[in-house]
Amino acid sequence: MGAADLHRPAQLRRMNRALLKHWDLSPCIDDAELVLTELATNAFQHGGGDDITVTWCADGAHLTIQVKDSSPVRPALQAVDEASEHGRGLCIVEALAASWGISEDGTTVHCALALPERAA
């Protein structure tokens, strides 16, 4: 991860916050920022450089975040313990998301966060 890449997760969190406020999805901001940070950091560290794309989509029931990089190496959940300093990213995503997955080509990780029901 290059020096400029160290600031990119923070930039993405700011974009995420602004977008979700605009979409009136403020209750999802904290969980969305956490999974976005984990997915983006993984992409910058293991995904082959600057070719990272983040996509947000809300369908009324879920907020879906996709992070695409240029590496065909499939991310995988890792076994971690209290002493582990790394490897918790996908475990965090799995814990917070209603669903998540990896594209067949291994370049995109997506997760869906359940949206709170809105009052009529």
Alpha-carbon span 69 to 51, nearest angstrom: 6
Per-residue model confidence (pLDDT) at position 72:
78
Per-residue model confidence (pLDDT) at position 90:
81
CA distances from 107 to 43, 45, 55, 69, 90 (A): 9, 13, 13, 5, 15
Asked if 109 and 101 touch (Cβ cutoff 8 Å), the reply is yes
Q: What is the mean pLDDT of each run of 10 residues along the chain (120 residues)?
A: 64 94 94 93 76 91 94 70 62 90 91 78
Alpha-carbon span 86 to 91, nearest angstrom: 11
Cβ contacts of residue 42 below 8 Å, gap of 6+? 67, 75, 89, 90, 109
Per-residue model confidence (pLDDT) at position 119:
44
> What pTM did the predictor assign?
0.83
Cβ contacts of residue 72 below 8 Å, gap of 6+? 105, 106, 107
Per-residue model confidence (pLDDT) at position 112:
97
